[in-house]
Structure 1
Amino acid sequence: MLSIAPWYHVFGLITLLTVLRVGGQLIYTDDYKNLPKYMLENRVSVVGGVPKLFHAMYEKLEGTIQENRLARFLWRYAPTLLGTKIKRRLVGGTQLKYFLSGGAPLDAKVMKGFRRLGIGMIEGYGLTETSPVLTFSTPFNEKIGSVGPAIPGVEIRIDDPNEEGIGEIVVRGPNVMKGYYKNPEATRKVIDPDGWLHTGDLGYLDEDGWLYIKGRKKNVIVLEGGKNVYPEEIEFELKQIPLIEEIMIKGGKRKGLEVIKAFVYPKPELLQKHSLEELKKMIWEAIKEKSKDLAPYKRVHSQHDLIILDKPFEKSSKLDIKRYLYEES
């Protein structure tokens, strides 16, 4: 197994423990540029990483396919054969079986695309406070868009759901922490007297008990009409635009009303070729087109609400964007 998740992160630690448990071999690297080299040298069968890694791999793969006539034909009519050729190029054989994704929601397009090529996606959900896994789906048991059902011994319910069934995800089980070290006040804020941990994440459960993540409770935008907008859901859609490297959706005021604003960091190579004003026009047209897939109240409605950045977002140690640093402009 090849992993890019550091061992100080709980996702990286759990991959280490899993490989030790099954008697496998773990290759660790944080060298993204040479990832194909390490995959080939070690003939890996599983790659573990964050969705951004798999999205970048798929995006590059898509570009390569579009440039090659034979690859386009195989992608359309014989994707498994194309997948065999890609595996041989990546790892020197056909042993590449799975991509293991965690840390954030995975793009359904990426999951479907790799599955067509014969590479299964394993996706999970959890927190450091839950040791960490709460749910996971496998290629043999999956629903596109869901992070899977609860693992044995874990209970999941939705607290204070709205009319769409979306509410805070709360969990209980033997893997939930006892509390934050020497910080009972912080512990009381997240674990109630009945032992339920309030995750701060929003989502819903379907009729089969499968969990779907919608975003973070603290990030919700409440519009004037009372509609709730989940920024992560919009970011998930708009980041598929090829011009966009990173995007953050946030609420803001315009003419006294709460509106949806988009902060965008374009692809670095575009910043070298175009001015910010040119990029704003290009990205705005792309956002308008892509937003047709979104409900009207979830759209960025004015070019004035699009802010183009000339450098990447500042992030926390967990690689989360520091949203509080970015105000409307």
Structure 2
Amino acid sequence: MDDLKNYNPSQFLEDFRGTFFTGEWPTLPEMFNITVERYPDRPCFTDWEGENGEKRTYSYTQAKGLVLTLANWMTVNGVQHGDRIAVSGKNSPEWAVVYLAALYAGAVICPMDYALRPEEIENLIAAAKPVMLFIDEEKYDHFAAKQMDCRVFSLSRKQGELYSLSLCADVQKNPEPALMEETAAILFTSGTTGTPKGVMLSHKNLVSDCYIAQSNMRIFSTDVFYALLPIHHAYTMLAVFIEAISVGAEIVFGKSMAVSRLMKELKDGKITMLLGVPMLFNKIAAGIIKGIKNKGPVVYAVMKMLMAVSFIIKKTFGINPGKRIFKAVLQQANIYTIRIAICGGGPLAKSVFRLYNEMGINFVQGYGLTETSPIIALNPVHHFKIESVGKYFVGKMEMKILNPNENGIGEIAVKGPMVMQGYYNMPEETAKVFTEDGWFKTGDLGWIDKENYLMLSGRVKNMIVTEGGKNVYPEEIEDAFQLETDIQQITVRGYIADEKMKSEELEALVYPGDELFAHLKIRRDLYDDDARKAVEKAVSAIVERVNRRLQPYQRITRITILDEPLEMTTTLKVKRNYNS
């Protein structure tokens, strides 16, 4: 069992205080310098973008050399202390080098969502006013041709002299380094139209959160992290990129969620740390269950019994027999090498959480927001709770529930070194999310148990109040459908069932999955009235089955079948800005 009771993940920093850094926490460049000193020859950045798609790996020493070369070039070419530098592209060593080089040059890095349309990225650029933009090949020509106040460079070697790893100055110019309390990054969470909202995170915010999060989980220099989700997002940026470089671990950059590529990179990369969102883990879990069921009812029954026994042993004695019992199954799914899997970006169905632990994967959930750098709760591997998104870091931060109801549910509020500096150039918006005495209001509803584990209920703005005065949290109902593979997407919202009484009930917006069409022997592109009726009947049966497991006030009373899926964020959550 991994005992974390007396574990201090940042204790080793004391050996470097006074020589490598002098503040309460090192800045990100100082942290990277320390790691390179400790693990110069360990692999740092890896992808499969070498010649002819071959594996490409940079050691920590090589990565630092690339970072320093680019940082010096930036400084020689006019980047000054506090300037903004934007980066937008697929996950790659080039992205990581630009990110770190900007910080070494004393600048502020502005990672931008590469999935946005060019005009949306332009809107973010107009807000951030960067002096340089580094962008990937698909959008390079668009921005290179624009009349902008920032100079444009490429993350792709196809642009030759303008390629980020080709930029080199003949002279050396020392930049003014950033201080711990100064802004390191501006992350845009929303506002792709109108005025974008940029979260300002300091070096202290990011570095403190990085090490504090490790107090609930040990990570090692021998770990291999898989950066599959978009790295501009706070979750991947901190929990994969920054966490890995804080301990000398390797980062494998994934560029696609295509199953074939995902399976190859999981296997060939020998991934030990897999961080994802519910949709990713649901897909893998559904594949595992399907594979077991295909072996017949007897094998399935035996496997289910073994899984139950494995889970009891793990929870009771801290021994993990699942890895040995289910080795063949895990190898077939290319997840046998995974030591820990962490789900963030939204609550996961309890059945999925349990499945991975039954199979021998140490699987936990975490919780946080961009505004909190982002991690503020994480399940310890040795003492996890399936129903919880994690234990908050007692003694290193504070968490409380504002205005709890009779069940202890209210808005989650936090204080701590990881809480943002504020929204960029938005003092009024910043003031709205803090209480008068300085607590950050997360906008999420939940409750905290006696052992300081956090249970999520939903978003404040998404909560539905029924005619009987019951609070309904759409996310809890949606979670009940996570293993229903015939449904690709389900979003629950309130609707007025009785205009006169203004009573509100629950509607499900459902986008059927390809498997449902296959079961019904219907082609999605030949969708006539008879086909629609068959799909509606099948979806209704699924909803009715799930309804029986829910409380009466939580049950769905209206279903709308969608012809197109609702728009999703880059962390695969539905944007709840749909039209009525």
Give TM-score, length-normalised by structure 2. 0.53
- Indicate which of 423, 433, 446 corresponds to 1:203: 446
For the residues of structure 1 that align with 2:450 and 2:380, how far apart are their CA atoms? 19
Task: Specify the code of the residue in structure 2 equivalent to 1:26.
Answer: I
Q: CA deviation at 1:251?
A: 0.6
Q: 1:86 aligned to 2:329?
A: yes
> Which of 218-227 and 238-247 deviates more?
238-247
Counterpart position of 2:516: 270
For the residues of structure 2 that align with 1:320 and 1:110, how far apart are their CA atoms? 17
Q: CA deviation at 1:168?
A: 0.5
- Please give the per-residue CA displacement for 1:65-110, whole angstroms capped at 9, x wherever unaligned: 0001485265235443442113333449x53221121111122111
Change beyond 3 A, Cα 1:2–1:279: same
Query: SS of the residue aligned with 2:442?
Result: strand
Change beyond 3 A, Cα 1:17–1:232: same
Q: CA deviation at 1:268?
A: 2.7
Task: Specify the code of the residue in structure 2 equivalent to 1:9.
Answer: H
Query: SS of the residue aligned with 1:55?
Result: helix
Q: CA deviation at 1:178?
A: 1.9
Give TM-score, length-normalised by structure 1. 0.92
Task: Specify the code of the residue in structure 1 equivalent to 2:417.
Answer: P
- Indicate which of 65, 84, 106 corresponds to 2:348: 106
For the residues of structure 1 that align with 2:472 and 2:561, how far apart are their CA atoms? 21
Q: 1:75 aligned to 2:317?
A: no
Q: 1:148 aligned to 2:390?
A: yes
For the residues of structure 1 that align with 2:481 and 2:231, how far apart are their CA atoms? 31
For the residues of structure 2 that align with 1:129 and 1:59, how far apart are their CA atoms? 33
Counterpart position of 2:234: 10
Counterpart position of 1:120: 362
Query: SS of the residue aligned with 1:26?
Result: strand
- Indicate which of 152, 173, 192 corresponds to 2:416: 173
Query: SS of the residue aligned with 1:238?
Result: coil
- Within 5 Å, give how 1:125-136 maps onto structure 2: 125-136=367-378
Counterpart position of 1:36: 263
Counterpart position of 1:194: 437
Task: Specify the code of the residue in structure 2 equivalent to 1:295.
Answer: Q
> Which of 77-86 and 167-176 deviates more?
77-86
- Please give the per-residue CA displacement for 1:231-290, whole angstroms capped at 9, x wherever unaligned: 111111134333211101111112322111111011034344472222111111221121
Contact 2:490 2:508 in 1 (8 A): yes
What percent identity do the matched residue pairs reach? Answer: 33
Instruction: For structure 1, list consecutive stretches of 5 or more residues without a partner in the other structure.
Output: none
- Within 5 Å, give how 1:309-328 maps onto structure 2: 309-317=562-570, 319-327=572-580
Task: Specify the code of the residue in structure 1 equivalent to 2:565.
Answer: P
Contact 1:41 1:91 in 2 (8 A): no
Query: SS of the residue aligned with 2:353?
Result: helix
Counterpart position of 1:243: 486
Task: Specify the code of the residue in structure 2 equivalent to 1:285.
Answer: A
Q: 1:52 aligned to 2:308?
A: no
Contact 2:379 2:391 in 1 (8 A): yes
Change beyond 3 A, Cα 1:319–1:41: closer
Q: CA deviation at 1:211?
A: 0.4
For the residues of structure 1 that align with 2:301 and 2:468, how far apart are their CA atoms? 48
Change beyond 3 A, Cα 1:86–1:239: closer
- Please give the per-residue CA displacement for 1:133-165, whole angstroms capped at 9, x wherever unaligned: 101003212111101221241111111111111
Contact 2:341 2:362 in 1 (8 A): yes
- Indicate which of 528, 534, 537 corresponds to 1:281: 537
Task: Specify the code of the residue in structure 1 equivalent to 2:534.
Answer: E
For the residues of structure 2 that align with 1:234 and 1:120, how far apart are their CA atoms? 26
Contact 2:423 2:429 in 1 (8 A): yes
Larger Rg: 2
Contact 1:74 1:82 in 2 (8 A): no
